[in-house]
Protein backbone atom coordinates (compact mmCIF):
# COMPACT_ATOMS: atom_id res chain seq x y z
CA UNK A 1 0.00 0.00 0.00
CA UNK A 2 2.82 2.40 0.85
CA UNK A 3 4.55 1.53 -2.45
CA UNK A 4 1.40 2.56 -4.34
CA UNK A 5 1.06 5.71 -2.25
CA UNK A 6 4.68 6.63 -2.98
CA UNK A 7 4.18 6.06 -6.72
CA UNK A 8 1.07 8.26 -6.81
CA UNK A 9 2.79 10.95 -4.75
CA UNK A 10 5.78 11.02 -7.10
CA UNK A 11 3.49 11.21 -10.14
CA UNK A 12 1.42 14.00 -8.59
CA UNK A 13 4.50 15.99 -7.63
CA UNK A 14 5.94 15.60 -11.12
CA UNK A 15 2.75 17.03 -12.64
CA UNK A 16 2.73 19.84 -10.07
CA UNK A 17 6.31 20.87 -10.82
CA UNK A 18 5.65 20.82 -14.57
CA UNK A 19 2.61 23.07 -14.06
CA UNK A 20 4.72 25.40 -11.91
CA UNK A 21 7.33 25.57 -14.68
CA UNK A 22 4.64 26.42 -17.22
CA UNK A 23 3.23 29.16 -14.97
CA UNK A 24 6.63 30.76 -14.52
CA UNK A 25 8.22 30.30 -17.93
CA UNK A 26 5.76 28.98 -20.49
CA UNK A 27 6.83 26.03 -22.65
CA UNK A 28 10.52 26.49 -21.91
CA UNK A 29 9.87 26.59 -18.19
CA UNK A 30 7.73 23.48 -18.46
CA UNK A 31 10.54 21.54 -20.14
CA UNK A 32 13.03 22.70 -17.51
CA UNK A 33 10.61 21.75 -14.72
CA UNK A 34 10.11 18.28 -16.26
CA UNK A 35 13.86 17.70 -16.22
CA UNK A 36 14.00 19.00 -12.65
CA UNK A 37 11.14 16.66 -11.64
CA UNK A 38 12.89 13.63 -13.13
CA UNK A 39 16.03 14.50 -11.19
CA UNK A 40 13.96 15.05 -8.03
CA UNK A 41 12.28 11.66 -8.40
CA UNK A 42 15.65 9.95 -8.61
CA UNK A 43 17.22 12.04 -5.87
CA UNK A 44 14.26 11.72 -3.51
CA UNK A 45 14.47 7.94 -3.51
CA UNK A 46 18.20 7.74 -2.93
CA UNK A 47 19.07 10.91 -1.02
CA UNK A 48 15.93 12.39 0.63
CA UNK A 49 16.86 10.96 4.04
CA UNK A 50 20.28 12.65 3.97
CA UNK A 51 18.73 15.94 2.87
CA UNK A 52 16.20 15.87 5.71
CA UNK A 53 18.87 15.04 8.30
CA UNK A 54 21.08 17.86 7.00
CA UNK A 55 18.10 20.23 6.90
CA UNK A 56 17.76 19.86 10.68
CA UNK A 57 21.46 19.82 11.49
CA UNK A 58 21.37 16.21 12.69
CA UNK A 59 24.74 14.55 13.23
CA UNK A 60 25.43 10.86 13.55
CA UNK A 61 26.57 9.73 16.99
CA UNK A 62 28.19 6.52 18.14
CA UNK A 63 27.57 4.38 21.21
CA UNK A 64 30.46 6.03 23.03
CA UNK A 65 28.97 9.53 22.62
CA UNK A 66 25.30 8.66 23.28
CA UNK A 67 25.29 5.32 25.12
CA UNK A 68 21.72 5.52 26.46
CA UNK A 69 20.24 6.50 23.10
CA UNK A 70 22.21 3.84 21.26
CA UNK A 71 21.40 1.17 23.83
CA UNK A 72 17.65 1.79 23.69
CA UNK A 73 17.56 1.91 19.88
CA UNK A 74 19.53 -1.35 19.70
CA UNK A 75 17.26 -3.09 22.19
CA UNK A 76 14.06 -1.94 20.51
CA UNK A 77 15.37 -2.77 17.03
CA UNK A 78 15.97 -6.32 18.16
CA UNK A 79 12.48 -6.52 19.65
CA UNK A 80 11.00 -5.22 16.38
CA UNK A 81 13.08 -7.57 14.21
CA UNK A 82 14.75 -4.64 12.44
CA UNK A 83 18.37 -3.97 11.48
CA UNK A 84 20.10 -1.46 13.73
CA UNK A 85 19.45 2.00 12.23
CA UNK A 86 21.92 4.87 12.29
CA UNK A 87 21.46 7.16 15.28
CA UNK A 88 21.51 10.96 15.05
CA UNK A 89 21.31 13.86 17.50
CA UNK A 90 19.93 17.35 16.81
CA UNK A 91 21.04 20.27 18.95
CA UNK A 92 17.71 21.76 20.04
CA UNK A 93 16.13 22.52 23.39
CA UNK A 94 12.74 21.52 21.93
CA UNK A 95 12.09 17.81 22.59
CA UNK A 96 11.23 15.88 19.43
CA UNK A 97 12.30 12.97 17.22
CA UNK A 98 11.82 11.50 13.75
CA UNK A 99 12.85 8.52 11.62
CA UNK A 100 13.85 8.53 7.97
CA UNK A 101 15.35 6.26 5.30
CA UNK A 102 14.15 4.54 2.14
CA UNK A 103 13.80 1.12 3.83
CA UNK A 104 14.58 -0.63 7.14
CA UNK A 105 18.10 -1.47 5.94
CA UNK A 106 18.88 2.20 5.30
CA UNK A 107 17.01 3.76 8.22
CA UNK A 108 18.02 6.50 10.64
CA UNK A 109 16.51 7.65 13.93
CA UNK A 110 17.10 11.24 15.08
CA UNK A 111 16.36 12.76 18.49
CA UNK A 112 16.90 16.25 19.85
CA UNK A 113 19.07 16.96 22.85
CA UNK A 114 15.95 18.45 24.46
CA UNK A 115 14.22 15.07 24.19
CA UNK A 116 17.11 13.35 25.93
CA UNK A 117 16.95 15.82 28.81
CA UNK A 118 13.18 15.81 29.28
CA UNK A 119 12.25 12.13 29.06
CA UNK A 120 12.77 9.40 31.61
CA UNK A 121 13.92 6.02 30.28
CA UNK A 122 10.41 4.55 29.86
CA UNK A 123 9.21 7.63 27.97
CA UNK A 124 12.32 7.67 25.77
CA UNK A 125 11.72 3.99 24.93
CA UNK A 126 8.16 4.87 23.95
CA UNK A 127 9.25 7.68 21.61
CA UNK A 128 11.98 5.63 19.95
CA UNK A 129 9.66 2.63 19.61
CA UNK A 130 7.17 4.89 17.81
CA UNK A 131 9.88 5.94 15.34
CA UNK A 132 10.97 2.35 14.79
CA UNK A 133 7.34 1.47 14.08
CA UNK A 134 7.45 4.01 11.24
CA UNK A 135 10.54 2.21 9.94
CA UNK A 136 8.85 -1.19 10.20
CA UNK A 137 5.72 0.12 8.47
CA UNK A 138 7.92 1.67 5.73
CA UNK A 139 6.45 5.12 6.29
CA UNK A 140 9.86 6.75 6.23
CA UNK A 141 10.40 6.86 2.45
CA UNK A 142 7.14 8.60 1.62
CA UNK A 143 7.65 11.02 4.52
CA UNK A 144 11.12 12.00 3.35
CA UNK A 145 9.93 12.36 -0.26
CA UNK A 146 7.11 14.66 0.84
CA UNK A 147 9.57 16.78 2.84
CA UNK A 148 12.02 17.02 -0.06
CA UNK A 149 9.44 18.03 -2.67
CA UNK A 150 7.67 20.45 -0.35
CA UNK A 151 11.01 22.09 0.37
CA UNK A 152 11.71 22.36 -3.36
CA UNK A 153 8.34 23.99 -3.99
CA UNK A 154 8.95 26.49 -1.19
CA UNK A 155 12.36 27.27 -2.71
CA UNK A 156 10.80 27.89 -6.14
CA UNK A 157 8.24 30.21 -4.55
CA UNK A 158 11.04 32.22 -2.92
CA UNK A 159 12.88 32.42 -6.24
CA UNK A 160 9.70 33.67 -7.89
CA UNK A 161 9.33 36.43 -5.31
CA UNK A 162 12.92 37.64 -5.82
CA UNK A 163 12.56 37.46 -9.60
CA UNK A 164 9.47 39.67 -9.44
CA UNK A 165 11.26 42.19 -7.24
CA UNK A 166 14.03 42.48 -9.85
CA UNK A 167 11.69 42.77 -12.80
CA UNK A 168 11.20 39.14 -13.80
CA UNK A 169 8.11 37.50 -15.30
CA UNK A 170 7.59 40.14 -18.00
CA UNK A 171 7.22 37.58 -20.74
CA UNK A 172 4.13 36.62 -22.68
CA UNK A 173 1.32 35.69 -20.29
CA UNK A 174 -0.27 33.64 -23.05
CA UNK A 175 2.70 31.28 -22.88
CA UNK A 176 2.17 30.65 -19.20
CA UNK A 177 4.66 33.11 -17.73
CA UNK A 178 4.37 36.77 -16.87
CA UNK A 179 3.33 38.65 -13.77
CA UNK A 180 0.10 36.67 -13.28
CA UNK A 181 2.00 33.39 -13.35
CA UNK A 182 4.45 34.69 -10.76
CA UNK A 183 1.70 35.93 -8.46
CA UNK A 184 -0.16 32.64 -8.78
CA UNK A 185 3.05 30.79 -7.95
CA UNK A 186 3.62 32.76 -4.76
CA UNK A 187 0.04 32.19 -3.62
CA UNK A 188 -0.30 28.53 -4.61
CA UNK A 189 3.15 27.25 -3.60
CA UNK A 190 2.50 27.32 0.18
CA UNK A 191 -0.88 25.65 -0.41
CA UNK A 192 0.79 22.97 -2.52
CA UNK A 193 3.36 22.35 0.21
CA UNK A 194 0.54 21.88 2.71
CA UNK A 195 -1.27 19.44 0.42
CA UNK A 196 1.91 17.42 0.00
CA UNK A 197 2.27 17.13 3.74
CA UNK A 198 -1.37 16.10 4.07
CA UNK A 199 -0.74 13.37 1.50
CA UNK A 200 0.98 11.57 4.35
CA UNK A 201 -2.11 10.22 6.11
CA UNK A 202 -2.79 11.02 9.74
CA UNK A 203 -3.65 7.38 10.24
CA UNK A 204 0.06 6.54 9.99
CA UNK A 205 0.61 8.26 13.35
CA UNK A 206 -2.07 6.15 15.02
CA UNK A 207 -0.56 3.01 13.47
CA UNK A 208 2.93 4.02 14.62
CA UNK A 209 1.62 4.71 18.14
CA UNK A 210 0.09 1.23 18.29
CA UNK A 211 3.18 -0.33 16.76
CA UNK A 212 5.43 1.57 19.13
CA UNK A 213 3.44 0.36 22.14
CA UNK A 214 3.87 -3.21 20.87
CA UNK A 215 7.61 -2.82 20.32
CA UNK A 216 8.16 -1.15 23.71
CA UNK A 217 5.99 -3.73 25.47
CA UNK A 218 3.64 -1.13 26.96
CA UNK A 219 1.75 1.98 25.81
CA UNK A 220 2.34 3.85 29.08
CA UNK A 221 5.77 5.29 28.25
CA UNK A 222 4.67 6.68 24.89
CA UNK A 223 1.42 8.09 26.32
CA UNK A 224 3.35 9.90 29.05
CA UNK A 225 5.93 11.11 26.53
CA UNK A 226 3.24 12.53 24.22
CA UNK A 227 1.79 14.61 27.07
CA UNK A 228 5.21 16.07 27.82
CA UNK A 229 5.97 16.64 24.13
CA UNK A 230 2.69 18.46 23.54
CA UNK A 231 3.26 20.82 26.46
CA UNK A 232 6.93 21.43 25.69
CA UNK A 233 6.40 22.12 21.96
CA UNK A 234 3.64 24.61 22.74
CA UNK A 235 5.75 26.34 25.37
CA UNK A 236 8.98 26.32 23.36
CA UNK A 237 8.52 25.46 19.65
CA UNK A 238 11.56 25.01 17.45
CA UNK A 239 13.38 28.21 16.57
CA UNK A 240 13.20 29.58 13.01
CA UNK A 241 16.69 28.29 12.21
CA UNK A 242 15.74 24.75 13.30
CA UNK A 243 12.27 24.29 11.88
CA UNK A 244 11.01 23.75 8.36
CA UNK A 245 7.27 23.48 7.59
CA UNK A 246 8.03 21.08 4.74
CA UNK A 247 9.32 18.46 7.18
CA UNK A 248 6.95 19.08 10.10
CA UNK A 249 5.09 15.83 9.42
CA UNK A 250 8.25 13.78 10.04
CA UNK A 251 8.36 14.52 13.77
CA UNK A 252 6.49 12.61 16.46
CA UNK A 253 4.63 15.83 17.35
CA UNK A 254 4.35 18.98 15.26
CA UNK A 255 7.50 21.09 15.89
CA UNK A 256 5.63 24.23 14.80
CA UNK A 257 3.15 24.05 17.70
CA UNK A 258 2.61 27.40 19.30
CA UNK A 259 3.08 29.34 16.05
CA UNK A 260 0.38 30.88 13.90
CA UNK A 261 1.18 28.60 10.98
CA UNK A 262 0.97 25.35 12.94
CA UNK A 263 -2.64 24.55 12.07
CA UNK A 264 -2.03 25.07 8.37
CA UNK A 265 0.84 22.62 8.31
CA UNK A 266 -0.29 20.10 10.92
CA UNK A 267 -0.37 16.53 9.69
CA UNK A 268 -0.68 15.03 13.16
CA UNK A 269 -3.82 13.84 14.91
CA UNK A 270 -4.76 15.59 18.15
CA UNK A 271 -2.34 14.52 20.88
CA UNK A 272 -5.24 14.10 23.31
CA UNK A 273 -6.81 11.50 21.01
CA UNK A 274 -3.48 9.73 20.55
CA UNK A 275 -3.05 9.51 24.31
CA UNK A 276 -6.61 8.30 24.75
CA UNK A 277 -6.10 5.50 22.25
CA UNK A 278 -2.82 4.47 23.81
CA UNK A 279 -4.19 4.41 27.33
CA UNK A 280 -7.21 2.41 26.18
CA UNK A 281 -4.68 -0.32 25.40
CA UNK A 282 -3.65 -0.38 29.08
CA UNK A 283 -6.64 -1.23 31.33
CA UNK A 284 -6.92 0.74 34.54
CA UNK A 285 -5.54 4.02 33.18
CA UNK A 286 -7.21 7.26 32.08
CA UNK A 287 -6.08 9.77 29.48
CA UNK A 288 -5.00 13.06 31.09
CA UNK A 289 -4.01 16.19 29.19
Which parts are annotated binding residues for Zn(2+)? 130, 134, 205
**SS3 for 85?**
coil
Q: How far apart are CA 276 and CA 289, in angstroms?
A: 9
Q: Which among 123, 131, 230, 242 is annotated as catalytic?
A: 131
CB 258 within 8 A of CB 199: no
Question: C-alpha angle with apex 79: 120 to 61, nearest 5 degrees?
Answer: 60
CB 268 within 8 A of CB 254: yes
| 131 flagged as catalytic | yes
Q: Closest Cα to residue 127, out of 263, 256, 247, 233?
A: 233
CA atoms within 13 A on the CB side of 233: 23
CA atoms within 13 A on the CB side of 266: 14
Q: How far is CA 13 from the centre of its chain?
A: 16
> Which residues are known binding-site members?
130, 134, 205
> What residues are annotated to the active site?
131
Amino acid sequence: MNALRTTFLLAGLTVLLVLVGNALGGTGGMVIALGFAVAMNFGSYWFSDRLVLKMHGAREVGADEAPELHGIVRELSQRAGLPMPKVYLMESVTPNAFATGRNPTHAAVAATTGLMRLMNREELRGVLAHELAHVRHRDTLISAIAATFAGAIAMIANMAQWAMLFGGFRGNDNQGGGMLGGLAMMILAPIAATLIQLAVSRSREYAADAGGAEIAGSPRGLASALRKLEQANHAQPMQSAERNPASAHLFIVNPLSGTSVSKLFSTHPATEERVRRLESMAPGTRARM
